[in-house]
Structure 1
Amino acid sequence: MKTHIIPAIRLTLFCAVFFCGFYTLCILGIAQLTPNHGKGKVITANGKTYHVNVAQNFTEDNYFWSRPSAVDYNGAGSGGSNKGPSNPDYLAEVQARIDTFILKNPGIQRAAIPSEMVTASGSGLDPHISVAAAKIQVKRIAKARNIPEEKIRNVITENTEKPLLGILGTEKINVLKLNLALNNLQ
């Protein structure tokens, strides 16, 4: 028994020192070499600081809406709803989001709504939507801001992020950057 306990205690102490001390300090040191010293991507606009890599809550008619969040856009912790696709509470929540989207975007058919506009991401903090999700909101925003739709489509095109190396991933749009660019139109 002694032959198993002593090596287990040594291994536990080694792992505690290595992973809680050495590894953490290495990652912190690497983060200091990055832009903004590991604090994430930050934008300052109109005297406010925003974290670009964390979703923001936009629900007003004159802005592009963000993807729903299971954690209420709280960057302190991420997580999904942990409800399965057949859960009645989850289905009711998604149906309520669909109804709200159709109400605020008249003329849009249910089948045309991109899934990310009514379902939360796994982290609940995804700051991006697809180009289709942005384009489907153009009419509502143009009407609310009294701006021609073409100007808004140009803002979408200018803020579309291409796939990594042109092949990895899909085109996407950061909602915060898009809405800040939208504010600069007026």
Structure 2
Amino acid sequence: MKNHILPATLLTLCCIVFFCGIYTAVVWGVAQLAPNRGKGETISYGDNRYGFEKIGQSFTNDKYFWSRPSAVNYNAAVSGGSNKGPSNPDYLAQVQARIDTFLVHNPTIKKEQIPAELVTASGSGLDPHLSPQAARIQVARVAHIRNIDEGKLIALIDQYTDKPLFGTETVNILSLNIALDQLKR
């Protein structure tokens, strides 16, 4: 019995020291070398800090491009989806309510034109991106409210579209809306 308990106890103590102390200190030290010391990338314009670039934020005012809905109210501490299936009546009612709201605020758009990402939450509930198509479908509303030429807004969307070598093009809605506020009419 002594041959088993002593090695198991030593292994447990070594693991506690390594994983609770040494490993944690190494990860923390590496994070200090990262931009913003591992606290996330914030977007700044002038003296104003707007938030974290990689975490979705709620934009529902008509003068802005709306962001993707969140199942967790954009709370990074509880990141996750709703876990409701596509046949769940509560989920379907929620999506239908989002569709109805979008159509009220965008009267020139037909229901079948609405990209799914504008009425469904992402798996993490924190997605800060939309497709360029989802941003473009909102141009008429934003242009009307702000009295800006639609061509300027389309050019702005194109400017803020990330075009990776592989994968789909995306637009960071926080960056786009900050640029929209700085746009000269």
TM over 0.5: yes
1:36-75 paired onto structure 2 within 5 Å: 36-45=36-45, 47-49=47-49, 50-75=51-76
Partner amino acid, structure 2, of 1:29: G
Q: Aligned-pair distance for 1:5?
A: 5.2
CA distance in 1, matches of 2:6, 2:71: 45
Q: Aligned-pair distance for 1:6?
A: 4.9
Q: Aligned-pair distance for 1:176?
A: 0.5
Q: Aligned-pair distance for 1:111?
A: 2.0
SS at match of 1:153: helix
5+ residue gaps, structure 2: none
Question: Which residue number in structure 2 is paired with residue 174 of structure 1?
Answer: 172
Q: Which runs of 4+ in 1 moved over 6 A?
A: none
Question: Which residue number in structure 2 is paired with residue 149 of structure 1?
Answer: 150
CA distance in 2, matches of 1:45, 1:92: 39
SS at match of 1:83: coil
Deviations 1:21-66 (A, max 9, x none): 2222221111111111111111223644211111111001110001
CA distance in 2, matches of 1:90, 1:2: 58
Percent identity, aligned pairs only, is 60
CA change 1:52–1:4 in 2 (3 A) is same
SS at match of 2:171: strand
Partner amino acid, structure 2, of 1:69: S
Question: Which residue number in structure 1 is paired with residue 14 of structure 2?
Answer: 14
Cα RMSD over matched residues? 1.8
CA change 1:180–1:82 in 2 (3 A) is same
CA change 1:112–1:28 in 2 (3 A) is same
TM score, norm. by length of structure 2: 0.90
SS at match of 1:76: helix
5+ residue gaps, structure 1: none
Question: Which residue number in structure 1 is paired with residue 105 of structure 2?
Answer: 104
Question: Which residue number in structure 2 is paired with residue 32 of structure 1?
Answer: 32
Q: Aligned-pair distance for 1:67?
A: 0.6
CA change 1:129–1:2 in 2 (3 A) is farther
CA distance in 2, matches of 1:91, 1:15: 48
Aligned pairs, number:
183
Question: Which residue number in structure 2 is paired with residue 158 of structure 1?
Answer: 159
Deviations 1:73-118 (A, max 9, x none): 1233312112222211111111111111111111222222111111
TM score, norm. by length of structure 1: 0.89
Q: Aligned-pair distance for 1:11?
A: 4.0
CA distance in 1, matches of 2:46, 2:107: 32
